[in-house]
Amino acid sequence: MTKKIGKSTYSFPSKPVIISSATVAGPKEGQGPYGKEFDKVFSDTILGQKSFEKAEGKMMEEGTKLALKKINLTERDIDVFIAGDLLNQTITSNFTASTLGIPFLGLYGACSTFVESLMVASFLVDGGFVQKALIATSSHNLAAERQYRFPTEYGGQRPPYAQHTVTGSGSAIVADKGQGPKVLFGSIGRVMDLGIKDPWNMGAAMAPAAADTIANIFFDTNTKPNDYDLLLTGDLGKFGSSILVDLLKERGLDISKIYFDCGGEIYDKNQDTHSGGSGCACCAIMSLGYYLKQPQYKKIIIVATGALHSPTTYQQGENIPAIAHGVIIEK
């Protein structure tokens, strides 16, 4: 029997459980309003490594091992490791998988990768293929900036709608039984291209994909915004969030009373991050480190968005396609 509901949403009748999670963050994220919520905040961005890329690998490795340690598990207790990041060929995840020695599935959904990995893990657990899946995502501001735009040492000026890539990593263990938030549904997004070419304007590029996925979740599950305590997006920032609210109002959906964006919340207004945060770590550390721990939020939609461009496509003048994946979580 199919578990597909409506256009693009799937039910998980066994209700896979997030039995453990860990969040690690860079110094700027630690100085923000949610810094005390993260399990570990690093004092610098190099972490004693030879490069920022190696530093990102160290963050993911420490985060995954902390998630295991919290519930006294080892790598041998995990059936599959599912991870992704922003760097070319997902090198952070690949090298971490090599260190962990767990069977590995690498994912790339840009900043949507956290929810994509959580959804894939839930598919595998609900289908009875695995009992425990370890998921992880990461991003590093200084590694991502020089890959997608230019080295920060260059000192280029950022427009007011630009976002700041979050330095950090979030990890979680999804299991077939145990205590913790339960994943009820997952919704697979569509790749959408509305003609945005500006690599700084990620919010505008990703907001239509977020609106499409959120609308599908409501329509597929026959629910409405006031059926939920929280709707959380990952990486739209202040500008993209405003666009999303307007797009959904055009579809008859008012999310304003339950809506927050991780990118819009993670930094203080005085931290000079313009429109807010982005990156694979943004949704991961804010969801796992703060929002899923708050008792007032019992039924939650999390939608993470990703801009699916590359340095090559940008340099060749291509548009920036985007995607958004969503999950419904109950506590």
Q: Which helix (H) or strand (E) holds 53?
A: helix 52-70
Domains of the chain: 13-175 (3.40.47.40), 182-330 (3.40.47.40)
Tens-digit pLDDT profile for residues 196-212? 887 777 888 899 999 99
CA atoms within 13 A on the CB side of 296: 4
Query: What pLDDT score does 157 carry?
Result: 67
Residue 312 has a pLDDT of 82
- pLDDT bin (cut points 50, 70, 90) of residue 163 is confident
Radius of gyration of the chain (CA): 18
Q: Is the pLDDT of residue 144 over 90?
A: no
- Give the ranges where 235-306 is alpha helix by DSSP (H): 237-250, 262-265, 280-289
Q: Are 19 and 12 in contact (CB under 8 A)?
A: no
Residue pair 302/287 in contact (Cβ under 8 Å)? The answer is: yes
Whether 171 and 60 have beta carbons less than 8 Å apart is answered as: yes
The answer to whether 116 and 129 have CB atoms below 8 angstroms apart is: no
75 by DSSP, 3-state: which? helix
Average pLDDT of span 122-136:
98
Judged against a pLDDT cut of 70, whether residue 151 lies above it is answered with no
| Digit-coded pLDDT (tens) for 83-120 | 999 999 999 999 999 999 999 999 999 999 999 999 99
Q: Per-residue confidence at 149, pLDDT binned at 50, 70, 90?
A: low
Q: In the prediction, which pLDDT does 152 show?
A: 66
Q: What pLDDT does residue 161 have? A: 65
Across-strand partners of 109? 111
Mean pLDDT of 36-43: 97
What does the pLDDT average to over 289-318? 92
Q: Which residues contact 320 (CB under 8 A, 6 or more apart)?
A: 193, 196, 197, 198, 199, 202, 205, 307, 308, 309, 313, 314
Dihedral class, residue 124 (left if φ above 0, else alpha if ψ from -120 to 50, else beta): alpha
pLDDT number for residue 160:
66
Among residues 65, 82, 23, the alpha carbon closest in space to that of 266 is found at 23
- The mean pLDDT of 230-241, rounded to a whole number, is 94
Residue 204 contacts residue 212 (beta carbons within 8 Å): no
From CA 186, how far away is CA 12, in angstroms rounded?
A: 8
Percent of the chain with pLDDT over 70: 96
pLDDT, tens digit (0-9, with 9 covering 90-100), for 251-302: 999 999 999 999 999 999 888 888 788 899 999 999 999 999 999 999 999 9
Supply the pLDDT for residue 10.
98
Burial class (CB in 10 A: 0-12, 13-18, 19+), 222: exposed
How many C-beta atoms surround the C-beta of residue 31 within 10 A?
A: 14
